[in-house]
Amino acid sequence: MHGAPLTRDGDLVLLLDAKNKPFTFRLQAGQELQTHRGVVRHNDLTGIPWGSRVASHLGQTFYLLSPSLHDLLLYLPRQSQIVFPKEVGYLLLRLSVGPGARVIEAGTGSGAMTLALAWAVGPEGHVYSYDRRSDMQALAGRNLARVGLESRVTFQQASIEDGFGETDVDALFLDVPDPHLALPQVRRALRPGSPFGAILPTVNQISVLLAAMEANEFAFPEVCEILLRFYKTVPQRLRPLDRMVAHTGYLVFARPLAAGAGPPSAEDWAEAEPV
């Protein structure tokens, strides 16, 4: 068996302490990480196997890992509520955001969904991220640069009610308070038949969006919510954790059709088999 791969200067790393507290950063010769469990020198983390256990100057244990997309989302510096991993994974799948895709999202917020989209589209794809607030886009930009994905994203500081500058994109996702106001604009930007998605915190917003989707002839509406429940990982006393997240947002999906192609009647759709 060949030797284990070693960390190198410049690598993005995740350092976890023994109680799962995370630190994400790039290795830089000569730098130090300050924690309340002691100081860790970057030089001590460089040129050693991934998955190593290291010690701070106080002798406290840390683990040196390569951050997954999940880690990057969980530990993202933020100034706003972000889309949770339980929703991000399903959204990528449901909106079919994969290598090479061109995708629009709004709003940018702290950039969690932006980062996930940029990660998933790969170097051949691209993300167009809209937000009215320059401060949020600056934060999102820093969050992307930190993980080296900034070149895959174009930030547009603009209101989506003014429309999108792109056409024929493969998917379009809205995390804004009033997505129903932008459906004609969505239709012009998104390739007909391709997936549109939105996340909304309240049921009232769902009703408004569903009515607007019907009025704008978006077909195949779906509404769902995802619950994720964690367990205590004790083999002989296995049980769910005491508490869980009860709500982040409802997910709404639909597809705009080609001009003139009316969607199925509400009656037909009400009888459709759930997916």
Contacting a copy of itself within 131-160 (CB under 8 A): none
Q: Which of 29, 39, 55, 228 binds a copy of itself (CB under 8 A)?
A: 228
Cβ atoms 9, 29 nearer than 8 A = yes
Q: How many residues bind a copy of itself (CB under 8 A)?
A: 113
Minimum CB distance to a copy of itself, residue 143 (Å): 17
Which of these ranges, 24-32, 37-45, 134-142, 230-238, lies near a copy of itself under the rule CB under 8 A?
A: 230-238
Q: Report how far residue 267's alpha carbon sits from residue 275's, in angstroms, rounded to the nearest whole number.
A: 17
Q: For the chain, how long is the longest CA-to-CA vector?
A: 69
d(CA 255, CA 194): 6
Instruction: Among 28, 31, 34, 68, indicate the residue that binds a copy of itself (CB under 8 A).
Output: 68
Alpha carbon 273 to its chain centroid, in Å, reads: 29
Phi, psi of 239 (to 5 degrees): -165, 155
Contact stretch for a copy of itself (CB under 8 A) within 25-33, 71-79, 107-115, 132-140: 71-79
Given the rule CB under 8 A, which of 24-32, 126-134, 137-145, 205-213 is the region that contacts a copy of itself? 205-213
Closest CA to 143 of 70, 76, 85: 76
58 binds a copy of itself (CB under 8 A): no
DSSP-derived letter for residue 133 is: -
Cα–Cα distance for residue pair 89/125, rounded to 1 Å: 18
Which 181-200 positions form the footprint of a copy of itself (CB under 8 A)? 188, 191-195
Minimal distance, residue 162 CB to a copy of itself, in Å: 16
Least distance between a copy of itself and beta carbon 275 (Å): 5
- Give the contact letters, 2-41, x = binds to a copy of itself (CB under 8 A), - = no: x-xx----------x-xxxx--------------------
Q: Which residue, 130 or 218, has its beta carbon nearer to a copy of itself?
A: 218
Look at residues 217, 206, 155, 223 and name the one whose alpha carbon lies nearest to residue 184.
Answer: 217
Q: Measured at the alpha carbon of residue 179, what is the angle toward residues 173 and 185, in degrees to the nearest 5? A: 75
Candidates 27-35, 105-113, 133-141, 211-219; binding stretch for a copy of itself (CB under 8 A): 211-219
Task: Tell me how far apart the alpha carbons of residues 126 and 101 are, in angstroms, rounded to a whole number.
Answer: 6
Of 8, 59, 135, 275, the one binding a copy of itself by CB under 8 A: 275
Strand partners, 190: 169
By CB under 8 A, name the one of 161, 162, 168, 184 that touches a copy of itself. 168
Is 69:116 a contact under the CB 8 Å cutoff?
A: yes
